[in-house]
Amino acid sequence: MSEICKVSAERQGDIAILLTDGYINNQGGEEIAREAYAQLDSGARALLLNLEKTRIVNSIGISILIEVLERVMDRKGELAFCGLTPTIDKTFRIMGLAQYAKVFPTQEEALRALAVAGRGA
Amino acid sequence: MTIPIAQDMEIVATAQAAAVGEFIGMPRDKIDEVKLALVEACINAFEHSHTRDDKVRLTFRMGEEKGADYLEVEVRDRGRGFDESRVERPAPEKTFAGRQKRGWGLQIIRSLMDSVAITSGPEGTRILMRKYK
């Protein structure tokens, strides 16, 4: 059995939207990181991770997301999340991820906020 | 059930927890919390137990205490055990300083479940965790 997380990406200007589908473990986290770094290297200023199709992120997956966040912060970019289940939201808060990345209920709200932040940059 | 120590086996285990949780009418968000706690307990056993038989044993129980239904999950390995008092407590500032990105499993389990009991010794480790409906 394989539960590898699928990651798809689209761009809206300098914002890259990464949509995950499935369990985020070490493999899923690495898949997200690979796509995130590709987007950053091709000029994305902000990353939005939409997790609405993911119900479990384990602590290894979150540790990889933290590495992605650190790279984004090094580049003075932004990382935001949306579509979190209450359990994922709680886990992000326990591990401190929500202290450094913004969390929005929906993709639309996240995109509005990231666009405004980009205009102020 | 007994699961081998192998990639994604923790997800196989969560299907059983979800089935028992649904049977007692536990809300989906609480089932998700049990599933993640179980995933973390399995990963700890997979990575740290150094078990002699490469297996993790799981028991799922439903019960009722003082009128409240609960789902209980027991995770056992036959590894070399550990001393919880010697496990460094994780903290976001350590995680983001790059010193300790891992080691969150027990903290997550304790945060998501209503009660957690850990017994560990040279014959292995047993994590007994309970979530009320």
Can you list the domains of chain A with their CATH numbers?
6-120 (3.30.750.24)
pLDDT given for residue A48 in this prediction: 98
pLDDT given for residue A1 in this prediction: 42
Closest CA to A66 of A100, A90, A37: A100
pTM of the model: 0.91
pLDDT in tens, B52-80: 899 999 999 999 999 999 999 999 999 99
How sure is the predictor about B98, in pLDDT bands with cuts at 50, 70 and 90? Answer: low
Strand order from edge to edge, sheet including A6-12: A6-12, A15-21, A46-53, A78-82, A102-104
Place of tokens 């536990």: B26
Q: What is the CATH number of domain B2-132?
A: 3.30.565.10
d(CA B86, CA B107): 14
Q: Does A1 touch chain B (CB under 8 A)?
A: yes
Q: Is 80 exceeded by the pLDDT of residue B18?
A: yes
Contact B92 A2 (CB under 8 A): no
Q: Is 90 exceeded by the pLDDT of residue A90?
A: yes
Residue of A nearest to B9 (CA): A1
pLDDT in tens, B21-35: 999 999 999 999 999
What is the share, in percent, of chain B residues with pLDDT greater than 70? 96
* Mode of pairing for the β-strands spanning A46-53 and B55-65: unpaired
Residue A100, classified by CB atoms within 10 Å of its CB into exposed (0-12), middle (13-18) or buried (19+), is: middle
pLDDT given for residue A96 in this prediction: 86
Q: What residues of B are in contact with residue A96 (Cβ under 8 Å)?
A: 91-93, 95-96
Q: Is 60 exceeded by the pLDDT of residue A76?
A: yes
* Mode of pairing for the β-strands spanning B55-65 and A15-21: unpaired
Contact A2 B111 (CB under 8 A): no
Region B81-109: mean pLDDT is 80
